[in-house]
Amino acid sequence: MESVLVFIQDVLSTPALLIGTMALIGLVAQGRPIEEVIKGTLKTILGFVIIGAGAGILVGALNYFGALFNFAFGVQGVVPNNEAIVSLALNEYAQATALIMAFGMVANILLARFSKWKYIFLTGHHTLYMAALIAVVLSVGGLEGWQLILAGSALLGFTMVFFPALAQKTMVKITGEESIAFGHFGTLGYVFSAWLGSIFGKESKSTEEIKFPKRLSFLRDTSVAISLTMFMFFVLVSVIASFKEGFDPAMTTGINWFLFSVIQSLTFAGGVYIVLAGVRLLIAEIVPAFKGISERIVPDAKPALDCPIVFPFAENAVLIGFLVSFAGGLVGLGILIALSGTLALPLILPGVIPHFFCGATAGVFGNATGGRKGAIIGAFGHGLLITFLPALLMPVLGTLGFANTTFSDSDFTAVGIVMGNVANYIQGYGLLAVSLLIFVAPIILTLVQPKKA
């Protein structure tokens, strides 16, 4: 009996096995054939293992960059990257993250079933990232054990229906239909872009009436865009650092600064590629397990899908949004540098991943409400937003706040800032009660709201 308990404890304390167990339960519950159950379970575990491998590569490249940046400019430079910060978080909060993710999906189904927000969030990697963020913030707030899991699952379930509901009005404008929802935790930035577009883009023509140069289309390849952007950053910091007194060649591994920049930028892009591959492998198995269950429980629910779902509706806005959002990030960095003497905020460098995926999406949302002007102004505002919000989040992350990276997308940073500040004043059972109240609020509002005749 004791050996059985030890075995169960080992499974629960090993995140990859825990996630694999969740996938196993979901697949068995749907009556899948034994060969699909075995394949799905093993691929889920393998996905988690691959994430860890890619994380090590990312952290190594970021450590080189952080050391060079600090030496070159004498300041703390931070590259926002969800994959990197989650990798760091999983070192300490892996078990809590896995449990919050699993039960948060269940909470999502419950809210979709009993509230008016009929959305099933299917962007699995963002579910994982939000679970990690919530685990960190609530742990810093003093929650642990079953309290942490219960509060975290409630908050995660809430975010998985709240943000799709927030974006749905604009999604209808983009897609022209009600059946598809938006499930990506950068929604506040996209809604902000759409709002700016509605104000400044009245009577502006759509971006799709522009013929964009095909030679810039290579920037749509994420790996290429990441490599080029990180190469520019590495060149900048390595060149400046190499001319400063006290420079140690070991900071660039003893090789020429140009070759060092090439190798590290490609290493960083390779790390992101590996992590994303692991995430896709993980999510491809665990999400369908919950999707099949949710379809039986909430037959009228709308699937909330990842941000690329909107790209085909405004392809020019995608590239415009990326470039303009990145420009907004550079302007935001300049503002942070100018304010560095008065505000103790880290310098947030424009991260290519958020400015590509999120900036592109912001361009599509801005175009939907304000055409070309909306896409440009909205994406620029988005670039500023995802520069300042990560800077404000850093102090909330506790020991993780000292890393050379942070969460990038607006919803992660907003949830972290809000709940982190709540946790500063309300802890223990009080923080648990607040989390549960947030969870039941949509259900209560649905019950008290008069039904349409």
Q: Is 427 helix (H, G, I), strand (E, B) or coil?
A: coil
User: How many helical (H) and strand (E) elements, i.e. helices and strands, does the chain have?
Assistant: 14, 6
pLDDT of the chain, 453 residues: tens digit per residue: 566 656 665 665 566 777 777 778 778 877 888 998 898 888 888 887 887 788 778 777 877 877 787 787 765 677 788 887 888 788 788 888 888 988 998 899 899 999 999 898 878 788 889 999 999 889 888 888 889 999 999 999 999 999 999 999 999 999 888 878 899 999 999 999 999 999 998 878 877 776 656 676 666 676 787 788 788 888 888 888 888 888 888 888 888 888 988 998 898 888 878 877 887 787 777 777 766 666 677 777 788 888 878 888 887 788 788 889 988 988 998 898 888 777 777 788 877 678 878 998 999 999 999 988 999 999 999 999 999 999 888 877 765 555 667 888 999 999 999 998 898 888 888 999 999 999 999 999 988 876 654
**CB-based contact 317:207 (threshold 8 Å):** yes
**CB-based contact 376:206 (threshold 8 Å):** no
Distance CA 446, CA 443 (A): 5
Q: What is the pLDDT of residue 314?
A: 82
Q: Is 79 helix (H, G, I), strand (E, B) or coil?
A: strand
Q: Is 351 helix (H, G, I), strand (E, B) or coil?
A: coil
Q: What is the pLDDT of residue 294?
A: 64
Q: What is the pLDDT of residue 64?
A: 82
Q: What is the pLDDT of residue 219?
A: 62
Distance CA 373, CA 332 (A): 20
| CA–CA distances in Å: residue 223 to residues 77, 147, 268, 356 | 22, 40, 9, 11
Distance CA 37, CA 25 (A): 9
pTM to 2 decimal places? 0.76
Q: What is the pLDDT of residue 369?
A: 92
Buried-exposed string 227-246: b where 16+ CB fall within 10 A, e elsewhere: bbbbbebbbbbbebbbeeee
Q: Indicate the domain borders of the chain.
A: 2-446
Q: Is 176 helix (H, G, I), strand (E, B) or coil?
A: coil
